[in-house]
Amino acid sequence: GAGVSQTPSNKVTEKGKYVELRCDPISGHTALYWYRQSLGQGPEFLIYFQGTGAADDSGLPNDRFFAVRPEGSVSTLKIQRTERGDSAVYLCASSTGHSSNEQFFGPGTRLTVL
């Protein structure tokens, strides 16, 4: 079946602009995670959804970052007033939400802020 998909695959924007990154999880997966991977680093947790609600947003770096999952499936990560330091690969993962379950990762969106 289809895996996790993310769009766009690449996004170039200018400092100060607003961007939206989309994640389509595997059908039926209730848990959805966003991570950010900077160059030369491992992925860092941003936010976790269980169903429609954000169960843990402790990884969001500041209030310019926001994410939604209104129907419990597709999620959108929104970044306001982008800064050059936001440049990174944004990864989405989904799982069934059961204990110890594997997280399936999408290919990521590479965001470049000029």
Partner 1 sequence: AQSVTQLGSHVSVSEGALVLLRCNYSSSVPPYLFWYVQYPNQGLQLLLKYTSAATLVKGINGFEAEFKKSETSFHLTKPSAHMSDAAEYFCAVSLSGGSNYKLTFGKGTLLTVNP
For partner 1, give the closer residue by CB, 20 or 44: 44
Q: Show the site string, 45-84: x = touches partner 1 by CB under 8 A, - = not.
A: x--x-x----xx--x-------------------------
Q: Which helix (H) or strand (E) holds 109?
A: strand 109-113
Check residue 91 for interaction with partner 1 (CB under 8 A).
yes
User: What's phi and psi for 111, nearest 5 deg?
Assistant: -100, 125
Check residue 103 for interaction with partner 1 (CB under 8 A).
yes
For partner 1, give the closer residue by CB, 36 or 86: 36
Q: Which helix (H) or strand (E) holds 105?
A: strand 104-105
Residue type at position 64: R
Q: Report which of 108, 114, 2 is spatially closest to residue 46, judged by C-alpha positions.
A: 108
Select from 108, 109, 111, 113 the one that contacts partner 1 (CB under 8 A). 108
Helix or strand or coil: residue 67? strand
93 contacts 103 by C-beta, under 8 angstroms: yes
Binding residues vs partner 1 (CB under 8 A): 3-4, 31, 33, 35, 40-45, 48, 50, 55-56, 59, 91, 93, 95, 97, 99-108
